[in-house]
Amino acid sequence: MAKKPGGGKTSGRGQRDLKVKVKTARGRRLSSTRWLQRQLNDPYVKRAQTEGYRGRAAFKILELDDKYRFLVPGARVVDLGCAPGGWCQVAVKRTNALGEKSGKLEGRVLGVDLQEVEPIAGAEIHQLDFLADEADAQVKEWLGGKADVVMSDMAASSSGHKQTDHLRIVALCEAAAEFAFDVLEDGGTFVAKVLAGGAEGSLQTLLKQRFDKVANVKPPASRADSSEKFVVATGFRGRAVDDPDAEEEA
């Protein structure tokens, strides 16, 4: 009879006890204890630590890219709200930004955030508010041209009110989409996090006017109890002819 990992026999009760349990310490809220227990038992958190990613969110963009293949060698990528940097780490590897894949094109990865972000090998990180005037022009100057991918894992600060938070993140995602319209190459891809809640119809309409395909996906790395999902818009068709910004860019 084969032994179980670690040697010795393990009873049914012993198997259940393999899950890490955390007691509520004096002065710590029950919600904090639950969060800590969830983190300690989250396989994606453990994988992130083992594989050197800055957070479990890295696996969300990995899974999305496995399905839609937008982080290709040679791609120029802009990561909005890039802190702590996990998405940039994935983009560096998959676009060959470090030139580690011989014979493949080398990509460019540009991350921007309101706060300082620890340097990431192969990525260019800037402290910038993407909503500021001329932010799109600044990003294109740093990139030396337009981007092939604009991605965003941003979320607005929580207010504690579910519907308010939903409206805030949809508004943030719409702003990210408008930014993407200014910096994307034709045929480019836009990826962003939203929260399901019913108010994202205007965002869907906006994206369908500008892209060939718009998919709504909940990757396996997204927790089942989370209302988050991701929009993946591919085949950017450029600004609409009747869009005033299109005339400025022509």
Catalytic residue positions? 193
Helix, strand, coil percentages for the chain (3-state, nearest 5): 35, 20, 45
Residue 100, both tokens: 């580690």
- Binding residue per annotation — 103? no
172 SS3 class: helix
Structure-derived torsion over alpha carbons of residues 51, 57, 62, 64, reported in degrees to the nearest 10: 170
- Mode of pairing for the β-strands spanning 147-152 and 76-80: parallel
Q: In degrees, to the nearest 5, what angle opens at C-alpha 246 toward C-alphas 243 and 247?
A: 105
Q: How many residues in total does the chain contain?
A: 250
Separation between Cα atoms, residue 111 and residue 237, nearest integer Å: 24
- Is 87 part of any known ligand binding site? yes
Q: In what order do the strands lie in the sheet with 211-217?
A: 123-127, 108-113, 76-80, 147-152, 184-195, 228-236, 211-217
C-alpha 207/C-alpha 188 separation (Å) is 12
Q: What is the DSSP letter of 3?
A: P
Closest CA to 201 of 164, 181, 244, 231: 231
**Binding site annotation covers 17?**
no
Residues flagged as binding site for S-adenosyl-L-methionine:
85, 87, 113, 129, 153
Residue ranges of the annotated binding site are: 85, 87, 113, 129, 153
